[in-house]
Amino acid sequence: MVETGESLGQTLIREVKEELGLDLQRFCPFETVTEETSDGSVARHIFYGSISEESKRHLILGEGSELRFFSSLEIPSLKIAFGLEKVLERFLRAVAAGQVKQNC
């Protein structure tokens, strides 16, 4: 959640550190998804980046309930929170179409 006075980038860096124990260096925005909930309208800001194989071995699961890596072929069979499997599918289509920066 964005804290008062914090930019989206600062929020992302802080949340990744809290949730995964990673010091995020490079990332790019992908899209913002807005949905209506019982608490009102919620905007989910989607970013992407990459992490090294070494970093993957040292991930720390913080506030989240489950973490694992999966292939794009597994997406339809996964239960991904907040309906974000559709975002992943759009992202993979954008990658295939060359619409995503490669150095994030």
State how far the Cα of 30 lies from the Cα of 81, in Å rounded to an integer.
18
Phi, psi of 94 (to 5 degrees): -65, -40
**Residue 44 identity (one-letter amino acid):** R
Token duo for residue 19: 């949730």
CB–CB of 66/78 below 8 Å? no
Model confidence over 38-66: pLDDT tens digits? 889 989 999 998 888 888 887 877 665 57
Q: Where are the domains of the chain?
A: 8-96
Summarised one tens digit per residue, pLDDT across range 83-94 is 788 899 999 999
